[in-house]
């Protein structure tokens, strides 16, 4: 093929592109409510990422009640409230759920929609790694189908889905 | 490289040589033996799976679809064995130089090789049809889906051959040519396997590139123009690349850059053609039930819409069912510009979901300006029913008479209940409730249904019925033999007399069903009616199949009554009902009545006292079991009942073919152990064996000649 032939190929491509753009549908109607997604749902995106090896402490808070966990040499230990005894298996299960929750779905980049329920959160979890980097997960209401809850990552403002197991273990941790 | 238009004469001369080289070589038959063995194994195992687990389902959906999807894998593994020799072998043997000295253009050489190799691949595919022919001998099936399946496989074969031909020009090693073809085709297959892997931005693009995604419609019995265009583009690009590769032998090095840039331009152009085809797609649904096409009933309702309707499907991203949901919304939206639709993720739209009360994945909200309904899943009749309910000004009431042991619309019992019928009527926009005749027919009832009954009707009740009919009443009577003799007498005075007999029709009874079951259809004069004609005949004129009646009685008609359904020509009616039910009865010329016999009829007559209703209407069907939960989904039982009630309600403009939900007793396949063994031997021994024997015979013959 010569440069001339090559040019013809690209010219045809450009003409077809013009036809494609020129015959495009009208843009979809304006969103009538905050948080309304485009016409076709986009595929799932990962929610957040926690390196389990680097995780050093986790604070679970609901209103005035809070539990602070720190990683010891061999296992997690309860720092606050100092007088509470929490089974190590339960603590580990909660941390595992928190770490695995990173696989959950990211549903929005903007947490302003009141339907997510972040104005009166039911739980806040703060994870800190060995370099002092924090990840704060604020849990709002359940999803419409009741199969998960909404969570806001405070550091970057995105909204993710939180599995119900995490809430269940948090309930047990907080007593 | 020689530039000229291909000459049919030169191409056919070379094609003959190529066909001889392909079909007179043992290689094709060895590859064919392997291909047919694999295809036969899939045929038999898919058939076994279908017979074992697919009982009661449609043969096409469970067996053919599975088989065609499996055959594409067999094609992928065998076609590269045919294409590997096309240029690689000639290059290695040095015969390609000889070929290039002929007065042939590269395009003519390519066309001849492409057609010959495609013919070989299609011959292998055609051989697999022998197994299907055996099945057809046992149980005939619709050709449409089989045709689309083979068309899709043929298009796959052409595409595979085109890709394999190109890769064969790049090397003189046949193994490398074959492996690179398998690898390329596998890559084109698995591009869209894992949604998470390629990333969001590229996922949609890669899914559209995936060769097997474009085969799915064919395997379902549907031809889509976008898929035809895709395969055309793929073959065109592979051919262009092959020509460039062949032409490179005579190039100066300076040609490489413009060729690569030009091929990229061609790729982009073909990609845009594909995108345009996707946008302007046309679908041809060859499935027997037109499963992927909106039913005429739905179209008629949607075409008459007078107000805007919005459809919102609430799904979960990544759910494989989303495609069929979006597809249904597209089909509904295409009918009327008043319908807007969109698909949203439930979790990403909590406010919208809560506003409509959606709490499940897959729900569809049908909304008008001031009302909405939530439909549980993406089924045509549910969505269209909801649209009908929301856009009707008033909901008409269908009252089921009680008090004489009639069947009840609230009873979920399989044998006697009518909940399935009641649910379908609600989907059609009717209110359904049970009524009694104490004090007369309630004023708001539009259609009265009498579903059988065991207790006698009093004269007072019949007088109330008389009074209601005088005001333009509408009545559907479903009466088995021996049921409600008083009501039967009342109906006789109105021109439709249920006879005290039972109709037998051995030629048209359900296979494996009761001896007294019959399949009835519209008489010829009704079947010839146009749906637009103002006649009660529209109740049955457009039925796509017969109606299954469990124990039917004949109806004797007076002037003015219109026959809607009749039994077959070989049927007869006997008054020996008990003996008929036990199967102990033969036709008696003296006492029995020879068919065809009318088993459903309608009549209307003008009334003076009803300014809003010009006529009273009655429909009588000589069987009640067709309306029960057990029988309503058989054949056209549901459509005939819905049509009758719709006509009685004065909404005959809405009568048209409905989507078929189930086809019990049809599209079934039952194999004996002997038939299954024959299918196994034919598919996995006889067909591959014949191919391998042909290979052996060719080998011995060529050796003897040499």
Q: Give the tens place of pLDDT for each residue, B19-31.
A: 998 898 888 999 9
Q: Is a pLDDT exceeding 70 seen at residue B655?
A: no
pLDDT over threshold 60, residue B696: yes
Token pair of A105 as six digits: 């779905």
B351 touches chain A (CB under 8 A): yes
Give the pLDDT confidence score for residue B451 in this predicted structure.
Answer: 93
The whole-number pLDDT of residue A39 equals 39
Nearest to B89 by CA among B13, B31, B25: B25
More confident residue, B90 or B269: B269
Mean pLDDT (whole number) for B60-83: 86
B526 phi/psi in degrees, rounded to 5: -80, -40
Average pLDDT over chain B, rounded to an integer = 84
Task: List phi, psi (to 5°) of B494.
Answer: -105, 15
- Looking at CA atoms only, how far is residue B340 from chain A in angstroms? 10
What digits encode the pLDDT tens for the residues B556-606? 998 888 999 999 888 888 888 777 777 777 778 888 888 789 999 999 888
- Beta carbons of B346 and A144 less than 8 Å apart: yes
Contact A108 B259 (CB under 8 A): no
B323 shares contact with chain A (CB less than 8 Å): no
B38 pLDDT exceeds 90?
yes
- Residue B625 vs residues B172, B548, B621: alpha-carbon distances, Å: 73, 9, 10
How far does A123 lie from chain B, in Å, by closest CA? 19
How many helices (H) and strands (E) chain B has is answered by 26, 20
CA distances from B271 to A9, A16, B217 (A): 12, 10, 20
DSSP structure string for chain A: --HHHHHHHHHHHHHHHHHHHHTPPPPPPPPSSTTPPPSSPPPP-B-----TTTEEEEEEEETTEEEEEEE-SSSEEEEESTT----HHHHHHHHHHHHHGGGSBEEES----GGG-TTS-SEEEEEEETT--EEEEEEEEEPTTSS-EEEEETTT--EEEE-HHHHHHHHHHH-
Cβ pairs bridging A and B (under 8 Å) = 130
Q: In chain B, which residues have their Cβ closer than 8 Å to the Cβ of A20?
A: 272, 275-276, 279
pLDDT tens column, B80-90? 999 988 888 88
Give the model confidence (pLDDT) of B90-100 as tens digits: 888 888 778 78
Residues of B whose CB is below 8 A from A40: 326, 343
Residue contact B347–A143, C-beta within 8 A: yes
**According to the model, what pLDDT value does residue B448 have?**
94
Q: How far is B258 from chain A (nearest CA, A)?
A: 5
Residues of A in contact with B206 (CB under 8 A): none
Which of B54-58, B267-271, B507-511, B584-588 is the most confident on average? B267-271
More reliable by pLDDT, B529 or B176: B176
For residue A34, the chain B residue with the least C-alpha distance is: B351
Quote the ipTM score. 0.70
Report the share of chain B in percent with pLDDT over 90.
Answer: 32
Nearest CA in chain B to A162: B347
Average pLDDT of the segment spanning B127-146? 87
Give the C-alpha separation, B237 to B167, whole Å: 13
pLDDT reported for residue B305: 86
Question: A47: which chain B residues are within 8 Å (Cβ-Cβ)?
Answer: none
Considering only CB atoms, A41 lies closest to which of B315, B353, B354, namely B315
pLDDT at B482: 83
> Looking at chain B, which residue has its C-alpha nearest residue A11?
B265
For B36, what's the count of Cα atoms within 13 Å in the CB-facing half-sphere? 30
Parallel, antiparallel or unpaired: strands B547-549 and A76-80:
unpaired
Q: Indicate yes or no: pTM above 0.80.
A: no
Nearest chain B Cα distance for residue A133, angstroms: 27
The answer to whether A9 contacts B265, with C-beta atoms less than 8 Å apart, is: yes
CB < 8 Å to A149, chain B: none
Q: CB contact, 8 Å: B1 with chain A?
A: no
What pLDDT sits at residue B528? 62
Q: What is the pLDDT along chain A (175 residues), one digit of tens a residue?
A: 788 888 888 999 999 999 888 877 644 443 333 333 333 444 556 677 888 888 899 999 998 889 999 988 778 888 888 888 888 888 888 888 888 876 677 888 877 788 898 988 889 999 998 888 898 999 999 999 888 899 998 888 888 888 888 899 999 988 8
Higher pLDDT residue, B232 or B606?
B232
Q: Which residues of A touch B203 (CB under 8 A)?
A: 43
Segment B430-435 mean pLDDT: 91
Alpha carbons B331 and B477: distance in angstroms, whole number: 37
Rounded Cα distance between B91 and B102, Å, is 15
Task: Quote the tokens at residue A137.
Answer: 């997960």
pLDDT of residue B320: 67
Among B206, B265, B365, pick the best mutation site for testing chain A contact (most A Cβ within 10 A).
Answer: B265
Highest mean pLDDT among B336-345, B505-514, B601-610: B336-345
Q: Where would I find the beta strands (DSSP E) of B327-430?
A: 339-345, 363-367, 372-375, 397-401
Give the closest of A1, A19, A44 to B259, CB-based. A1
Nearest alpha carbon to residue A35 among B478, B496, B295, B345: B345
Residue B1's pLDDT band (cuts 50, 70, 90): very low
């Amino acid at each position: 093929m010569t440069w001339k032939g090559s040019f013809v190929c690209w010219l045809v491509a450009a003409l077809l592109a013009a036809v494609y753009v020129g015959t495009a549908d009208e843009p979809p109607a304006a969103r009538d409510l905050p948080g309304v997604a485009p016409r076709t749902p986009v595929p799932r995106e990962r929610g957040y990422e926690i390196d389990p090896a680097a995780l050093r402490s986790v604070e679970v808070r609901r209103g005035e009640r809070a539990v602070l966990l720190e990683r010891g040499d061999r296992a997690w230990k309860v720092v606050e409230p100092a007088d509470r005894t929490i089974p190590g298996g339960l603590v580990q299960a909660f941390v595992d759920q928190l770490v695995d929750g990173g696989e959950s779905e990211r549903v929005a980049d903007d947490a302003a929609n009141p339907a997510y329920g972040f104005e009166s959160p039911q739980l806040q979890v703060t994870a800190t790694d060995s370099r002092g980097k924090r990840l704060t997960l604020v849990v709002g209401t359940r999803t419409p189908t009741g199969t998960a809850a909404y969570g806001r990552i405070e550091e970057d403002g995105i909204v993710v889905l939180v599995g119900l197991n995490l809430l269940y273990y948090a309930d047990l941790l907080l007593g | 490289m020689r530039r000229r238009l291909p000459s049919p004469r030169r191409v056919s001369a070379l094609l003959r040589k190529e066909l001889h080289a392909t079909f007179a070589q043992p290689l094709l038959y060895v590859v064919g033996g392997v291909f047919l063995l694999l295809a036969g194994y899939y045929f038999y195992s898919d058939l076994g799976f279908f017979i074992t687990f697919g009982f009661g389902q449609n043969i096409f959906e469970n067996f053919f679809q599975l088989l065609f999807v499996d055959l594409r894998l067999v094609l992928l593994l065998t076609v590269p064995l045919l294409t590997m020799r096309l240029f690689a072998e000639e290059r290695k043997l040095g015969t390609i130089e000889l070929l290039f000295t002929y007065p042939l253009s590269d395009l003519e050489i390519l066309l001849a090789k492409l057609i010959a190799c495609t013919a070989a691949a299609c011959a292998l595919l055609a051989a697999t049809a022998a197994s299907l022919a055996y099945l057809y001998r046992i149980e005939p099936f619709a050709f449409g889906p089989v045709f689309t399946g083979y068309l899709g496989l043929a298009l796959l074969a052409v595409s595979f051959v085109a890709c394999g031909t190109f890769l064969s020009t790049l090397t003189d090693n046949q193994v490398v040519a074959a492996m690179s073809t398998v690898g390329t085709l596998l890559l084109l297959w698995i591009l869209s396997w894992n949604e998470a892997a390629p990333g969001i931005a590229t996922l949609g693009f890669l899914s559209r590139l995936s060769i097997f995604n474009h085969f799915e419609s064919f395997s379902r019995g549907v031809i889509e123009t976008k898929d035809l265009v895709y395969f055309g583009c793929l073959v065109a690009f592979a051919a262009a690349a092959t020509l460039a590769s062949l032409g490179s032998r005579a190039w100066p090095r300076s040609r490489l850059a413009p060729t690569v840039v030009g091929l990229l331009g061609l790729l982009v152009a073909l990609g845009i053609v594909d995108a345009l085809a996707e946008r302007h797609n046309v679908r041809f649904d060859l499935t027997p039930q037109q499963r992927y096409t909106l039913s005429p009933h739905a179209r008629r309702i949607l075409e008459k819409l007078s107000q805007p309707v919005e459809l919102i499907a609430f799904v979960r991203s990544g759910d494989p069912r989303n495609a069929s949901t979006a597809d249904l919304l597209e089909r509904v939206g295409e009918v009327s510009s008043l319908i807007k639709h969109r698909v949203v993720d439930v979790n990403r739209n909590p406010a919208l979901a809560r506003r409509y009360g959606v709490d499940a994945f897959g729900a569809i909200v049908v909304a008008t300006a001031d009302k909405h309904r939530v439909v549980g899943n993406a089924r045509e009749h549910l969505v269209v029913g909801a649209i009908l309910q929301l856009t009707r000004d008033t909901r008409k009431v269908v009252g089921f008479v009680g008090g004489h042991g009639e069947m009840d619309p609230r009873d979920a019992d399989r044998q006697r209940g009518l909940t399935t019928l009641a649910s379908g009527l609600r989907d059609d926009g009717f209110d359904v409730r049970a009524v009694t005749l104490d004090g007369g027919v309630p004023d708001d009832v539009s259609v009265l249904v009498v579903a059988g009954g065991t207790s006698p009707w009093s004269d007072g009740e019949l007088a109330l019925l008389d009074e209601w009919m005088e005001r333009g009443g509408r009545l559907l009577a479903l009466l088995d033999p021996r049921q409600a003799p008083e009501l039967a007498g009342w109906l006789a005075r109105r021109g439709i007399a249920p006879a005290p007999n039972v109709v037998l029709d051995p030629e048209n009874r359900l296979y494996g069903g009761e001896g007294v079951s019959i399949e009835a259809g519209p008489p010829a004069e009704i079947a010839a009616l146009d749906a637009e004609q103002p006649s009660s005949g529209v109740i049955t004129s457009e039925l796509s199949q017969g109606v299954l009646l469990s124990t039917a009685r004949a109806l004797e008609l007076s002037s003015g009554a219109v026959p809607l359904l009749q039994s077959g020509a070989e049927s007869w009616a006997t008054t020996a009902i008990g003996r008929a039910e036990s199967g102990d009865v033969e036709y008696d010329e003296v006492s029995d009545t020879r068919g065809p016999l009318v088993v459903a009829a309608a009549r209307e007559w003008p009334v003076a006292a009803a300014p809003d209703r010009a006529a009273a209407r009655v429909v009588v069907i000589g069987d009640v079991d067709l309306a029960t939960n057990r029988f309503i989904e058989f054949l056209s039982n549901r459509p005939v009942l819905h049509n009758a009630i719709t006509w009685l309600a004065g909404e005959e403009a809405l009568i048209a073919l409905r989507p078929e939900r189930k086809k019990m007793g049809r599209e079934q396949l039952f194999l004996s152990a002997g038939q299954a063994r024959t299918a196994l031997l034919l598919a996995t021994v006889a067909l591959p064996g014949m191919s391998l024997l042909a290979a052996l015979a060719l080998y011995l013959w060529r050796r003897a000649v040499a």
